[in-house]
């Protein structure tokens, strides 16, 4: 996983947390909608970054492979 992938994942998590705190969802459906909205923010950021750089953000890299951890 690259730094870009980690940052976008963190953006999705932070966005979801902030939206959840602002909306205070109570039902599973409301929580699912908040999670979708948080993911959408990261998805839009990823699409814009890829469009402006011409490079994909998502890679096939795996932390296990990078750290040479046995499976």
Question: Quick check: 71 pLDDT over 60?
Answer: no
What is the C-alpha separation between 12 and 6, in angstroms, rounded?
Answer: 10
Backbone conformation region of residue 39, classed left if phi is above 0, alpha if psi is from -120 to 50, else beta: alpha
Q: Write out pLDDT tens, residues 3-58.
A: 999 999 999 999 999 999 999 999 999 999 999 999 999 999 999 999 999 999 99
**Looking at the whole model, is its pTM more than 0.75?**
yes
Determine the length of the chain.
71
Residue 23: name the closest of 13, 8, 37 by CA: 37
Are the C-beta atoms of residues 57 and 46 closer than 8 Å to each other? Answer: yes
Residue 30 lies in a domain: yes
Please count the structural domains in the chain. Answer: 1
Domain that holds residue 50: 3-66
Could you tell me if residue 11 is inside a domain? Answer: yes
Residue 20 within any structural domain of the chain: yes
């Amino acid at each position: 996983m690259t730094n870009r992938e980690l940052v976008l994942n963190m953006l999705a998590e932070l966005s979801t947390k902030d939206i959840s705190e602002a909306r205070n969802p109570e039902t599973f459906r409301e929580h699912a909608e908040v999670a979708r909205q948080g993911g959408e923010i990261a998805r839009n950021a990823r699409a814009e970054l890829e469009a402006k750089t011409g490079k994909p953000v998502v890679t096939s890299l795996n932390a296990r492979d990078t750290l040479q951890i046995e499976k």
